[in-house]
Amino acid sequence: MEEKLLQIKNTYLEKVAKAKNLKDLDEIFLALFGKNGEITLATKEFPNLPKDQLPKVAPLLAQIKKELETVIEARREGIREEGYRLLENEKLDLEGGKPLDKKGHLHVFTTFEKEVVELFEKLGFQRFDAPHIDTDEFNFGLLNIPENHPARDLWDTMYIDSEKFGIQPGKMLLRTHTSNSQVRIMRENKLPIRMMNIGRCFRYENLDARHEHTFEQFEIVYVDKNLSMANLQYLSEYFLRTIFGKDIKVRMRPKYYPFVEPGVGVDGECIFCEGKGCKICGFAGWLELAGAGMIHPTVLRNGGVDPEEYSGIAWGFGPSRILMLKYGIDDIRTFLSGDLSKLLKYEEEKS
């Protein structure tokens, strides 16, 4: 184990020295300390080590971890300083150049957001906004996810150093889902309720073709008497068939979410591989497009609603995944990349 740790250290010290930009350093950091990083995985091997090795290996790992973090941060500062020096010598020519002939237009995300909002307004849903920076209570606690609940591992949460603002550490965060609106919606509105929320969420993800650290979510909260899974199924089919057409293949399967009971995942067949399996769908043949379920009685009570008299539906999806299917986009990072040529290409191909 000691030899393995030293090998990790030497390999990544060399990579850090060769890093040319901040993106390279971010990738190195994730490769070391991310969910599946070298250091993270090495730590998970500790329970399997002989007890006589732990007094040697544990301090060594801590030392290597600290050394690598220090070297990465030092290289990060060095790259920033190099960038500042380049900017000092850079000149901007405002005289020459020809104005662009193309006119601007709304981003594909903005257009889709309008389409979705109008779609649910036809069913009587109203728009509701919740904070991007929120408390642990609204993001987790009131949603039937108390502190130390194992379900919290489903979200890679980014907490804020709240001590600077006189708030107890670990109590402020960047919201991980639009579900932080659920209890607020129930507390602030009269029954029955039909509300929708679309907005940005944040998670500490390992970036790939299907995952971003900053992304959009859409969610509805529907509370009334005698609601059932049949209503949920109707809403799913209403949305997906309107967006993709009547031929879209849709399936619902049981899935666990702490704030609903029962919960389901709503999947659409992957259009890239037609169900055969590819990197976009994780070789499953299906893309999970929405998560939904009947609002848990505990969450209803936290919102001031009597679960004996009323039932509720929580239903939400990631617009990015829907747009990937709609426009044939093979990488979720395209939306926030700033590469307009890619987005224009996809739009032109569909028009």
Q: Is 217 a catalytic residue?
A: yes
Q: Is 315 a catalytic residue?
A: no
Q: Is 286 a catalytic residue?
A: no
Q: Confidence class of residue 287 from pLDDT cuts 50, 70 and 90?
A: confident
Distance (Å, whole) CA 96 – CA 93: 7
- Average pLDDT estimate for 327-331: 76
β partners of residue 282: none
Percentage of the chain beyond pLDDT 90 is 33
Q: Are residues 13 and 79 in the same domain?
A: yes
Q: What is the pLDDT of residue 198?
A: 93
Q: Are residues 325 and 292 in the same domain?
A: yes
64 part of a folded domain: yes
| Total number of residues shown for the chain | 351
List pLDDT tens digits, range 4-62: 888 888 998 999 898 888 888 889 988 888 888 888 888 888 888 888 887 888 888 88
237 part of a folded domain: yes
Q: What is the pLDDT of residue 134?
A: 93
Contact (Cβ atoms closer than 8 angstroms) between residue 221 and residue 185: yes
Q: Are residues 154 and 218 in the same domain?
A: yes
Closest CA to 204 of 235, 166, 158: 158
Q: Are residues 70 and 134 in the same domain?
A: no
Q: Confidence class of residue 342 from pLDDT cuts 50, 70 and 90?
A: low
Calculate ∠ Cα 79-339-24, nearest 5°: 25
Q: What is the pLDDT of residue 98?
A: 65
Angle at which helices 2-18 and 22-33 pack, to 10 degrees?
170
Instruction: Name the catalytic one among 31, 57, 217, 250.
Output: 217
Distance (Å, whole) CA 341 – CA 332: 15
Q: Are residues 139 and 51 in the same domain?
A: no
162 part of a folded domain: yes
Query: Between 308 and 277, where is the model more confident?
Result: 308
95 part of a folded domain: no
Q: Are residues 30 and 145 in the same domain?
A: no
Q: What is the pLDDT of residue 153?
A: 73
Q: What is the pLDDT of residue 88?
A: 78
Domain span at residue 277 reads 108-350
Which amino acid, residue 269? E
Q: Is 127 a catalytic residue?
A: no
List pLDDT tens digits, range 135-183: 999 999 999 998 887 777 767 788 888 777 777 766 889 999 999 999 9
- Domain tally, the chain: 2
Closest CA to 210 of 113, 302, 147, 278: 278
167 part of a folded domain: yes
Q: Is 284 a catalytic residue?
A: no
Distance (Å, whole) CA 180 – CA 345: 36
Radius of gyration of the chain from its Cα atoms, rounded to whole angstroms: 24
List pLDDT tens digits, range 204-214: 877 676 677 88
Q: Is 314 a catalytic residue?
A: yes
CATH code of the domain covering residue 330: 3.30.930.10
As given in the structure block, the two tokens for residue 93 are: 């020519």
Backbone angles phi, psi at 217, to 5 degrees: -135, 150
Instruction: Name the catalytic one among 223, 314, 315, 321.
Output: 314
**Residue 106 class from Cβ within 10 Å (0-12 exposed, 13-18 middle, 19+ buried)?**
exposed
Instruction: Name the catalytic one among 155, 213, 301, 333.
Output: 155
Q: Are residues 245 and 326 in the same domain?
A: yes
Backbone angles phi, psi at 327, to 5 degrees: -105, 0
Q: Which residue has the tokens 């031929």?
A: 247
Distance (Å, whole) CA 106 – CA 111: 6
| pLDDT higher than 80, residue 274 | no
| pLDDT higher than 90, residue 268 | no
Q: What is the pLDDT of residue 87?
A: 76
Instruction: Name the catalytic one among 260, 266, 299, 305.
Output: 260
Contact (Cβ atoms closer than 8 angstroms) between residue 79 and residue 19: yes
Q: Which of 88, 119, 136 is the last residue of a domain?
A: 88
Q: Are residues 341 and 197 in the same domain?
A: yes
| Cβ neighbours of 193 (radius 10 Å) | 21
- Average pLDDT estimate for 78-87: 82
Q: What is the pLDDT of residue 130?
A: 95
338 part of a folded domain: yes
Instruction: Name the catalytic one among 175, 177, 194, 210.
Output: 177
Q: Are residues 199 and 139 in the same domain?
A: yes
The DSSP result for 224-262, as a single string, is: ETT--HHHHHHHHHHHHHHHH-TT--EEEEE---TTEEE
pTM as predicted: 0.65
Q: What is the pLDDT of residue 89?
A: 76
Q: Confidence class of residue 244 from pLDDT cuts 50, 70 and 90?
A: confident
Q: Are residues 41 and 139 in the same domain?
A: no
Closest CA to 248 of 221, 264, 267, 233: 267
Q: Confidence class of residue 100 from pLDDT cuts 50, 70 and 90?
A: low
Q: Are residues 75 and 117 in the same domain?
A: no
Q: Confidence class of residue 245 from pLDDT cuts 50, 70 and 90?
A: confident
Q: Are residues 18 and 149 in the same domain?
A: no
Distance (Å, whole) CA 22 – CA 74: 12
Instruction: Name the catalytic one among 203, 210, 296, 321.
Output: 203
Q: What is the pLDDT of residue 101?
A: 66
Q: What is the pLDDT of residue 344?
A: 66
280 part of a folded domain: yes
344 part of a folded domain: yes
